[in-house]
Amino acid sequence: MLNQKFFEDMSAKLNEAVANSPAKDFEKNARALLAQGFAKLDLVTREEFDVQALVLARAREQLTALEARVAELEAQRK
């Protein structure tokens, strides 16, 4: 049976190799590039989007109520 220490040592060495590899630098640079690109797109967070969706839903409800009230007042006028 293989020793648990062997697997721990291999895991540590692999993690160290990945951390010191060019792949890590590439990942860091890619993340920075993507973050910069997203910042230029003027995106909103999901939370901001959800808040605006609620505001829009309330506005639609008020508009529907006002339309019904106007129709009622127009019917009374005739």
Contact partners, residue 52, CB within 8 Å, separation at least 6: 44
Higher pLDDT, 73 or 3: 73
Question: What does pLDDT average to over the chain?
Answer: 86
End-to-end alpha-carbon separation of the chain, Å? 95
Fill in the amino acid letter for 28: K
The radius of gyration computed from the CA coordinates of the chain, to the nearest angstrom, equals 30
Q: Tell me if 25 sits within 8 A of 31, measured CB to CB.
A: no
Any idea where the domains of the chain sit in the sequence? 1-41, 44-78
Give the predicted TM-score (pTM) of the model: 0.49
